[in-house]
Amino acid sequence: MSVYQVSCPGRTLILDEEQPLLEGGGFEPEPALWCVLESGHAGLHHTLAQGLQGGEGVPPVSLWLRWAEGAEFDSRREILPLSPCPVRFLAGTLQEDACGLPEAHAGRHGFEFGPPISEADTTPYWLL
């Protein structure tokens, strides 16, 4: 276990007007969300807001909430679909692991932060 914080301390809340956009997806959205990028990253903060499973020829979609420093709770933040980072750890093996962050993200890949602590910390396989 690391004694250093590896993820960004940026956090936000799901606003009441955003809640309907996130209902009916692949998981129950958390009301308080932390930025999932590496601590000290440049640019916008990002957190996974919802996953839409797709079906009948429609691919799954990750909805990300992103915001600038100081815009945690105002109109400068946005919820939008972002493609997943294509980098994989141990690609082609049984231990293959996806990054789990949006494409072109700042900082290290998700698998470089270490294993998830609980099942709730994992991204659904169909989003990776």
Asked whether the beta carbons of 61 and 54 are under 8 A apart, the reply is yes
For range 77-92, the mean pLDDT: 87
Structure-block tokens of residue 117: 């602590």
pLDDT at 118: 58
| 58 SS3 class | strand
pLDDT at 1: 30
Cα–Cα distance for residue pair 62/80, rounded to 1 Å: 8
Is position 20 within any domain? yes
Global model pTM greater than 0.85: no
pLDDT at 78: 94
Is position 64 within any domain? yes
Q: Kindly tell me if the per-residue pLDDT of 122 is higher than 90.
A: no
pLDDT at 2: 34
Q: What domain count does the chain have? A: 1
| Range(s) of the domain holding residue 54 | 11-127
Q: Residue 52: in which H helix or E strand, if any?
A: strand 45-52
pLDDT at 3: 38
Q: Kindly tell me if the per-residue pLDDT of 4 is higher than 50.
A: no
Is position 1 within any domain? no
Backbone angles phi, psi at 52, to 5 degrees: -110, 120
Q: Kindly report the average pLDDT of the chain as a whole number.
A: 82
Is position 2 within any domain? no
pLDDT at 86: 92
Is position 18 within any domain? yes
Q: Kindly tell me if the per-residue pLDDT of 99 is higher than 70.
A: yes
Q: If we measure between CA atoms, which residue out of 123, 99, 110 comes closest to residue 38?
A: 110
Q: Kindly tell me if the per-residue pLDDT of 114 is higher than 90.
A: no
